[in-house]
Amino acid sequence: DAGVIQSPRHEVTEMGQEVTLRCKPISGHNSLFWYRQTMMRGLELLIYFNNNVPIDDSGMPEDRFSAKMPNASFSTLKIQPSEPRDSAVYFCASSFRLAAGSNEQFFGPGTRLTVL
């Protein structure tokens, strides 16, 4: 298995531009998570999906952020318009959710976003 795939690995954009981050979870996994990591705030959960349905988006910082999961093998995190304070590493993770289980999360390599 290729693991969780994220693209792009690096993104540099200018303030005000739209940014779209992409994630392909591990095949067979039914939960997907978007995290943001910064030096100041550490690892923050932005949103997660179970069976393609958003369950908790309380971590999404503002309306400028939106996430979709149109099918079990693809998700996007969009920032529109982007701001310099959005600069961070964005991780996607997936897991196979059981009624009770370890629910270990497998992380992608991350996307380093720089907003100038």
Partner 1 sequence: AQTVTQSQPEMSVQEAETVTLSCTYDTSESDYYLFWYKQPPSRQMILVIRQEAYKQQNATENRFSVNFQKAAKSFSLKISDSQLGDAAMYFCAYHPAWSNNNDMRFGAGTRLTVKP
Binding piece for partner 1, criterion CB under 8 A, among 12-20, 21-29, 75-83, 105-113: 105-113
When binding is defined by CB under 8 A, the residue of 22, 68, 78, 112 that contacts partner 1 is: 112
Report if residue 25 touches partner 1, rule: CB under 8 A: no
CA distances from 43 to 14, 16, 34, 38 (A): 24, 24, 10, 7
Rounded CA-CA distance 105/97 in Å is 9
Binding piece for partner 1, criterion CB under 8 A, among 20-28, 67-75, 77-85, 101-109: 101-109
Residue whose CB is less far from partner 1, 3 or 16? 3
Residue closest to 113 by CA, chosen among 13, 7, 6 = 13
DSSP character string of 14-34: -TT--EEEEEEPPTT--EEEE
Interface residues with partner 1 (CB under 8 A) are 31, 33, 42-43, 45, 48, 50, 55-56, 89, 91, 93, 95, 97, 99-107, 109-110, 112
